[in-house]
Structure 1
Amino acid sequence: MNMMVTRRALLGGMALSGAAALLPATAWGFRADGASLYPATNAFIKGFVDRRELASTLACVGKGQEEALSFGYGTQAMDSARPVGPDTLWRLYSMTKPVTAIAAMLLIEDGKMGLDQPIADFLPAFKAMKVQNVPDGSITEVHPAKTQITVRHLLTHTAGLGYNIIQKGPIKAAYDAAGIVGGQVSRLPIPGLAPVTAAPSLAAFADRLAELPLVYEPGTRWSYSVSLDLTGRLVEVVSGQPFDAFLKTRIFDPLGMKSTWFQVPASEVHRLTTNYAPVGGILIPMDPATSSIYLDKPPYPFGGGGLVSSARDYDRFLAMLLGEGETGGVRIMKTETARLAMSNLIDDAVDRKGTFIEGEGFGAGGRVSLPTSATGEGLYGWAGAAGTVGFVDRVRGYRVGGYTQYMPSDALPFQSGFAKAFYQDALR
């Protein structure tokens, strides 16, 4: 069977014809109260398992600071009898980005760096950056950047940096050669994705990245990038702690997030889902749980896409956001810091045409809705390459997570349709 995954396929682009034929025929559900309270959401997620398109789906919805309701269907893998639930482990991929950005906001709150402070104050190699004369063109035909990269630029994808799953041509090749990657997929070779050896540490990642030209002038265009991975390096330099240790100390432990890691402990593999690629009407195991690459220690903690977590754990993070820095009697950041993080941090002059956030705003690591958005203002969140999605609605008081595991995320309309289904319930 020919399974091709292109550079952009991790973010979308692979078509699916037909339904997967190797899935359990019987869906498994739980928390009937959640299913009855959110009937459109329930029908939406259940349909993917009933139609044998996905191995499992799960929704986790909380109102205010009330206990979240989880309801889901299917099993952790096609060949597993274990049903999914609130403690099942999912690859978050880019849902890691808001977590990393909140870590940076904590350091801003601590007074250790400023939102508009040049990152070169902490990472001197980024002081004199060059910019490609033509985006994705020559990497030798460059000019000096007019603007220093700031912390704000990193948190909002406006630093001008690239992504090896986005860029083309010489700059993509240079990123690959330098091991500038933002995540991992599998121990298995993936057709269409050239093997890339990641940089051996966050320090090496940052140093190598600084040697390459920017794709855009800082502050001018929203460009999905490795900027949140670089933020991880910034966090550890400014804090004096390893990036993953900072997350554990300042976010995970205080919030009781005991199932969130960059490496899944061997003792917890029984909770891990399998990640699939829908190809020709069949789900191909891309990263089987029992031999997952997430059982290996990563070369560095990927701040842009490296976390594995449970719906219960990520809901604690979302509850903290909805509580403007506090949940369960534990405050990890000031109200004003949380509000700033979830506000639109990019200027109207920033070019967003043709990007994932065209017509929207962007905060610290996540999309921010505007008054002109379909749901109005108040939404903050992001999604992941394997189909997950998580956000808070600060106006209506909801925190919402949708979970499944397949790549690319636009091979099926789960991720793209999940929020629409939820708002059929929330707005009725």
Structure 2
Amino acid sequence: MQDPTPVTPEAVGLCSERLERIDAWMRAYVEAGKLAGLSVTVGRGGAVAWSRARGLCDLDRNRPMAPETIVRIYSMTKPLTSVAVMMLYEEGRFQLDDPVTRFLPEFRGMRVLTGGSRRKWESVPAERDITVRDLLTHTAGLTYGFMESTLVDAMYRDEGVDFQTAETSLAEVVAKAAALPLLSQPGAEWNYSIATDVLGHLVAVVSGIPFDVFLRERVIRRLGMRDTDFHVPPDKLDRFASNYAFGPDGRLALIDDAREGRYARPRAVASGGGGLVSTAADYARFCRFILNGGDLDGVRLLGRKSVALMTTNHLRGDLADMGQPRFSESSYSGIGFGLGFSVMLDPAKAQILGTPGEVAWGGAASTAFWIDPAEDLFVILLTQLMPSSALPLRRELRVLTYAALVDQAPSARR
């Protein structure tokens, strides 16, 4: 599979001069020492119209950031896992409103926390079972241990419910989560959570194939995503970026080395919620696949109506209407959620440039992407800085990118 020949910005209705503002923005962050390096890819009309990399992907080894640099995409894994789920849905293996207990009996008899302490917590029975749709939309009542804001979060930490660091198995971590209470009634609130990791286990149980094998063989390889996997093999480590955070002195500090970190060897648990590494070129192929309605270069993984369902808001209103979210890779007002993506509902309410129907998500190391079907546009931001809330990169890049749109979307789409 070959990627389409890059086009000039003007050929697809973008302004080269305005896109260069993105380059100045990138250089400013690198020169200020706030980012080691970053890359931005802008695609329109089925082709890449602008791509640039600045800075270093590894400060200690002085290796430059490049379009082929491999990075941890963390939660940008979630849309690929959701595609795997929808492929099984299209095969008639389940319905979206089916209870997950049909396949994962460990979720029977769930209880919802109402109070108490770690040693003696109080709860009430869940009013209904968690459904597949609940997991896809993060309305299952699950949470993340790293949030450190609720008693259930603390229980996750105590019991080792962490798909990134677990050394057991996917099934065992899911079983630990199922033994703990829910944060809210299924379907009642939107809470960013381990739900997509549970979906990875669901894929394995329903298909009879280990989740990492299913995702690699049925999705990643068929889409021609050559550098996307759950770890980086030895022959690719020279292209792998190190990961950073701000230290106590405000300077970038290494938190996960490219050569010595946990991604440099196969992982015990394949995290469907945040375990993949990828490149700009690979993720551009995924974005084109979604823009094309489930097909890429003649390889169809999903029907166009399934993609349309995934990219439609499934919440009753926006994220702000669904309880009080504590954390996500998106703002809340004006933003809904589909089956694996956030969905732009109202740019004015979100107070950012955008288009209703645009889908997006990001990762913990400040990566992000968005896909705008109305504008036939996709944008990918790759860097390695944790947490993703450290800098306002995503909102700034959205303004710079949309400001470069000067003509209507091209009618031709690959």
Deviation at 1:143, TM superposition (A): 0.6
Deviation at 1:65, TM superposition (A): 1.2
Deviation at 1:339, TM superposition (A): 0.9
Aligned counterpart, 2:307: 338
Between the aligned partners of 1:380 and 1:46, the Cα distance in structure 2 is 27
CA contact (8 A) 1:68 1:315 kept: no
Q: After the TM superposition, which residues 408-419 of structure 1 pair with which residues of structure 2 at under 5 Å, given as runs? A: 408-419=387-398
CA contact (8 A) 2:37 2:383 kept: yes
Residue by residue over 1:323-374, the C-alpha shift from the partner in whole angstroms, topping out at 9 and shown as x without a partner, is 1101222221110111111111223396144554333110122110114554
Q: After the TM superposition, which residues 207-218 of structure 1 pair with which residues of structure 2 at under 5 Å, given as runs? A: 207-218=175-186
Q: Structure 2 vs 1, CA of residues 326 and 36 (structure 1 numbering), >3 Å: closer, same or farther?
A: farther
* Corresponding residue to 1:401 among 380, 402, 407: 380
Which amino acid letter does the alignment assign opposite residue 265 of structure 1? P
Q: Structure 2 vs 1, CA of residues 135 and 380 (structure 1 numbering), >3 Å: closer, same or farther?
A: farther
SS at match of 2:26: helix
Residue by residue over 1:286-326, the C-alpha shift from the partner in whole angstroms, topping out at 9 and shown as x without a partner, is 11212121113222101111111011001111110111101
SS at match of 1:339: helix
Aligned counterpart, 1:118: 99
Q: Show structure 2 runs of 5+ residues with no match.
A: 1-5, 10-15, 408-414
Residue by residue over 1:99-137, the C-alpha shift from the partner in whole angstroms, topping out at 9 and shown as x without a partner, is 111111111111111111110110011121100014998
Q: Structure 2 vs 1, CA of residues 281 and 178 (structure 1 numbering), >3 Å: closer, same or farther?
A: closer
Residue by residue over 1:13-60, the C-alpha shift from the partner in whole angstroms, topping out at 9 and shown as x without a partner, is xxxxxxxxxxxxxxxxxx996665622322222221132321111001
Aligned counterpart, 1:240: 208
Q: Does 1:264 align with 2:243?
A: no
Aligned length: 385
Deviation at 1:267, TM superposition (A): 1.2
Aligned counterpart, 1:224: 192
Deviating more after overlay: 262-271 vs 291-300: 291-300
SS at match of 1:305: coil
Pairwise CA RMSD: 2.3
Q: Structure 2 vs 1, CA of residues 371 and 125 (structure 1 numbering), >3 Å: closer, same or farther?
A: same
Residue by residue over 1:204-226, the C-alpha shift from the partner in whole angstroms, topping out at 9 and shown as x without a partner, is 11211111100110101000110
* TM superposition score normalised by structure 2: 0.87
Q: Show structure 1 runs of 5+ residues with no match.
A: 1-30, 185-197
Between the aligned partners of 2:31 and 2:375, the Cα distance in structure 1 is 31
Which amino acid letter does the alignment assign opposite residue 231 of structure 2? Q
Aligned counterpart, 1:358: 333
Aligned counterpart, 1:189: none
Q: Does 1:89 align with 2:70?
A: yes
Q: Does 1:320 align with 2:275?
A: no
Between the aligned partners of 1:425 and 1:303, the Cα distance in structure 2 is 34
Between the aligned partners of 1:268 and 1:258, the Cα distance in structure 2 is 11
* Corresponding residue to 1:422 among 371, 391, 401: 401
Q: After the TM superposition, which residues 9-408 of structure 1 pair with which residues of structure 2 at under 5 Å, given as runs? A: 36=17, 38-67=19-48, 69-134=50-115, 140-168=121-149, 170-184=151-165, 198=166, 200-279=168-247, 280-348=249-317, 351-354=322-325, 356=328, 357-371=332-346, 373=350, 374=352, 375-408=354-387
* TM superposition score normalised by structure 1: 0.84
CA contact (8 A) 2:7 2:49 kept: no
Q: Structure 2 vs 1, CA of residues 167 and 143 (structure 1 numbering), >3 Å: closer, same or farther?
A: farther
CA contact (8 A) 1:199 1:205 kept: no
Between the aligned partners of 1:136 and 1:86, the Cα distance in structure 2 is 49
Between the aligned partners of 2:33 and 2:23, the Cα distance in structure 1 is 16
Between the aligned partners of 1:397 and 1:182, the Cα distance in structure 2 is 35
Which amino acid letter does the alignment assign opposite residue 103 of structure 2? F
Q: Equivalent pairs: percent with the same residue?
A: 37
